[in-house]
Amino acid sequence: MDLDRSYPAISDLAARARRRVPRFVWDYLDSGTGTEATTRRNRERLDAVLFDPAILAGERNANLSQSFLGHEFALPFGIAPVGMSGVVWPDAERILARLGRDEGIPYTLSTVAAQTPETVSPHLGPHAWCQLYPPRDLEIRKDMLKRFKDAGFRALVLTADVPVTSRRERQQRGGMSTPPQLSLRILGQIALRPAWTLATLRTGVPRLRTIEKYTGNRGAMSSTGHIGHLIRTSPDWEYLEWLRDHWDGPLMVKGVLVAADAVRLKASGVDAVWVSNHAGRQFDAAPASIDLLPDIRAAVGPDYPLIFDGGVAGGLDILRALALGADFVMLGRAFLYGLAAFGQRGAAHVVHLLREDILSNLGQLGLEGFDGLTLRVRG
- Per-position b or e across 69-101, b if 16+ CB within 10 A of its CB: beeebebbbbbbbbbbbbbbbbbbbbbbbbbbb
Q: How far apart are CA 318 and CA 14, in angstroms?
A: 18
Q: Which of 127, 226, 229, 278 is catalytic?
A: 278
* 246 classed as catalytic: no
CB 309 within 8 A of CB 332: yes
Specify which residues 304 forms β-bridges with. none
CB 261 within 8 A of CB 236: no
Question: In terms of DSSP H, where are the helices of 216-250?
Answer: 237-246
Q: Provide the 10 A C-beta neighbour count for residue 67.
A: 12
Q: How far apart are CA 232 and CA 292, in angstroms?
A: 28
Does residue 198 sit in helix, strand or coil? helix
The secondary structure element, H or E, covering residue 222 is strand 221-222
Active centre residues (catalytic): 278
